[in-house]
Amino acid sequence: MNNKTILVTGGTGSFGTTFTKKLLNKYKDIKIVIFSRDEEKQHRLRLELNDNRVRFEIGDVRDRDRVNQVMKGIDMVFHAAALKQVPSCEFFPMEAVKTNILGTNNVLDAALATRVRKVVCLSTDKSVYPINSMGMSKALMEKIAITKSKTGFLDVCVTRYGNVMASRGSVIPIWYEAAKNNQPITITNGNMTRFLLTLDDAVELVLYALENGENGDTFIKKAPACKMSVLADAVIAVANSKSKTVNVGMRHGEKMHESLIGEEEMLRAVDCGDYYKILPDSRDLNYDLFFETGNDNRMREAYTSANTNQLTQEEVEDLLQDIL
């Protein structure tokens, strides 16, 4: 990516900040455009980086004209802008539609119009068998990205990952602050499982997709998981706390277990070692074939937070020591 200009939408978020720092350290002659709507986060990141290779642009992916403006002169796009909080999207689903669906369409259309070389879109495990507005909107985001890849004029890949540990707004920092003050830690359901990835894992996944992806591919990094009760106990132990856990019941839009690859997608999944690659559905708009000809391959088990490697409390504590 030397001598290239990179656009990171949602670039002041947890992923965007970590990703930008990695690129600046790795590539001497790179230029990065941070596009986001939060001027306060931009101000803090500008002071922290203090690097003239980075340009900050205020704007929202919902604004088609603004996206078209900022896309000029861009070589590659990493699309991380999204509404990600399940409760927020559940109570305000049209806001999720505007950002996650229409905003993505704006970014991809602008990339098409300006002949951007490659776009990597970031998605979530909640897009697989979605039951909440956030997951549904990200599932459609993926569909839009894959559809745009079929134009033949834009190289698009999708990455999909689960919970990023200690990212902004995630449960671990909230629990840790409560534990340090010996306050109760609230758990919706202790038997609930979630994938666990670090921010570095997420960055590695996106760079892997950039380097190895072909048009229309979706990439998943294999990840361990644990029960929420195990995670809570690990946070309490790392905080050297006397806090107790309290079960409060499942919230709106929550699943017991998350999936990174569905059963149907496993038919097109390729095992790449530390990663899975899901090949795009190659069927076209010949509707007669679409309705008359199917696929009788035997279904394979979905890749979920319940059947992946389950971490012990000690293993989770080791992960937390590095990020808290």
Tell me which residues are annotated as active site: 126
CA distance 132 to 284: 29
Query: Closest Cα partner for 142 from 158, 163, 162, 153?
Result: 158
Helices (H) and strands (E) in the chain, counts: 13, 15
Distance, CA of 132 to CA of 298 (rounded, Å): 29
With H, G, I as helix, E, B as strand and everything else as coil, classify residue 256: coil
Distances (CA, A) of 281 to 101, 153, 213, 264: 20, 18, 15, 11
Among residues 54, 47, 44, 52, which one has the least CA distance to residue 20?
54
Where would I find the beta strands (DSSP E) of the chain? 5-9, 31-36, 54-58, 76-79, 118-124, 155-161, 185-187, 193-195, 218-221, 225-227, 245-247, 259-261, 269-271, 275-278, 303-304
Query: CA-CA distance, 317 to 235, in Å (whole number)?
Result: 7
Beta strands in 152-283 (DSSP E): 155-161, 185-187, 193-195, 218-221, 225-227, 245-247, 259-261, 269-271, 275-278
Structure tokens at 59: 């704007």
Half-sphere exposure of 194 (CA within 13 A, CB side): 24
Angle between helices 171-180 and 228-238 (to 10 degrees): 40
